[in-house]
Amino acid sequence: MQKTVQYNVEKVRQDFPILQRIINGKPFIYLDNAATAQKPRQVIETLDRFYKEYNANIHRGIYKVSEEATAAHEEARAKVARFINARSPNEIVFVRGTTEAINLVAHAWGRKNVGLGDNIMLTEMEHHSNIVPWQLLAKEKGASLKYVGITDQGILERYEFQQHLQSGAKLFAVAHSSNVLGTINPVRELIREAHKTGCCVLVDAAQSVPHMPVDVQDLDCDFLAFSGHKMCGPTGIGVLYAKGNLFDEMVPFHGGGEMISEVHPYESSWKPPPYKFEAGTTNIEGAIGLGAAIDYLSNIGLRKIRLHEREITAYAIDKLSRTKGITIYGPSDPQARGGVVSFNLGDVHPHDMATLLDEDGIAVRSGQHCAQPLHERLGIPATTRASFYLYNTEDEVDRLANSLERVRGIFKL
């Protein structure tokens, strides 16, 4: 298969200092991008500049450096809004990451809108972050969780989705793209169907926003959550988007400074969103660093990044499936999946696999990837996961395939 050139990958790789490392005597191959992405020097230098030139608390200092920090922080919010095509920066709340974003919705929207006997609809392929907050809410409110099952190829069972909608689900919380199977769910269609029954939809976009163009107005989702660290930004910053005036109707998540309008001994009033949900000193440099990551990815182009990853994934599936004894999970059609390839090789434990690949300088993830119910559904204890990003190459896939042959040799498969 001839790979089309989307951008100069070798030039992109020069931007990532960590990719120059030698691990165990071999060039470092980073294939754990679904866990976190590496950082380009443009993001690292933005953080460096923040600390050297305009580190100050925001929204409260009446002096130049604080005003510079505030302006950079709010410019980052505007960049996020433009990146996902939100109507306004006021629809963007900065949080620690996807996990906190989902907990915010469970707390601030869920407690008001979910009650005794209500249903919350999830899918069998969710990350623990999109399961546990809903379990906590359901227990507190006497609500039930309903799971949309998946086929053996990792595709959602649409008739179950319909059934749960008909039985009156209040909220549908769904991964845009699975961190284990790679499945890209048809969220646009699902949202249209859910809205017909008045069901609210939260999209866990942790594995989609970093890798493909995502337009919240086109999707028409009610909430969308993602993490900065998975898209070349700093750790500890993430985004919760809420449509229109949804934030207005929600109660605060955390109380403290900065989210208030007035505080009296026995009562307080709140600032308008997004500030109502950003209590205390937030991750200022994280937001600014995320803005730099958005600039970096946008300069290359999300469409090109998606095409590059799709080609690498197709190549990887084709190449790895030639390894005797391998089982690859998820949809067979690379169009229907993101850059995540989870597999098992014979009865080699994924932890042994990851250790042996590390000897060859290759970083992969092994275990359940925070998706235990999914592994139970697949009937397997764990998987090894290789996940790709804009800087990975076919040559790296070849080296992974060679290492798998070495593992086969060691285990006499």
CB atoms within 10 A of CB 213: 15
**Burial degree of 262 (CB within 10 A; 0-12, 13-18, 19+):** exposed
Q: How far apart are the C-alpha atoms of 392 and 37, rounded to whole Å?
A: 11
Type of residue found at 44: I
Kind of pairing between the strands at 22-23 and 200-204: unpaired
Task: Give least dist CB 206 to ligand PLP, A.
Answer: 4
Binding status of residue 204 toward ligand PLP by CB under 6 A: yes
Return the residue matching tokens 């931007």. 15
Binding status of residue 284 toward ligand PLP by CB under 6 A: no
Catalytic residue status for 221: no
Task: Give least dist CB 338 to ligand PLP, A.
Answer: 10
Q: Which stretch binds ligand PLP (CB under 6 A): 96-104, 146-154, 285-293, 383-391?
A: 96-104
Of the residues 200, 221, 232, 370, only one is catalytic, namely 370
| Residue 71 neighbours by CB under 8 Å, 6+ apart | none
Return the residue matching tokens 């809004």. 81
- Decide whether 9 or 206 has the Cβ nearer to ligand PLP: 206
Q: Can you tell me which of 127, 306, 385, 399 binds ligand PLP, judged by CB under 6 A?
A: 127
Chain residues 33-92 in contact with ligand PLP, contact rule CB under 6 A: 34
Q: Which stretch binds ligand PLP (CB under 6 A): 10-18, 203-211, 286-294, 381-389?
A: 203-211
Task: Give least dist CB 406 to ligand PLP, A.
Answer: 28
Q: How far apart are the C-alpha atoms of 69 and 62, rounded to whole Å?
A: 11
- Decide whether 216 or 407 has the Cβ nearer to ligand PLP: 216
Q: How far apart are the C-alpha atoms of 256 and 58, rounded to whole Å?
A: 15
Q: Which stretch binds ligand PLP (CB under 6 A): 16-24, 127-135, 259-267, 306-314?
A: 127-135
Binding status of residue 179 toward ligand PLP by CB under 6 A: yes
Q: Can you tell me which of 46, 207, 384, 387 binds ligand PLP, judged by CB under 6 A?
A: 207
CB atoms within 10 A of CB 113: 15
Closest to 393 (Cα-Cα) out of 27, 29, 23, 37: 29
- Decide whether 98 or 344 has the Cβ nearer to ligand PLP: 98
Q: Which stretch binds ligand PLP (CB under 6 A): 106-114, 122-130, 289-297, 392-400?
A: 122-130
Q: Measured between alpha carbons, how far is residue 141 from residues 107, 144, 147, 168 in Å?
A: 11, 9, 18, 16
Residues that bind ligand PLP (CB under 6 A): 34, 97-99, 127, 129-130, 175, 179, 204, 206-207, 227, 370
Q: Provide the annotated active-site residues.
A: 370
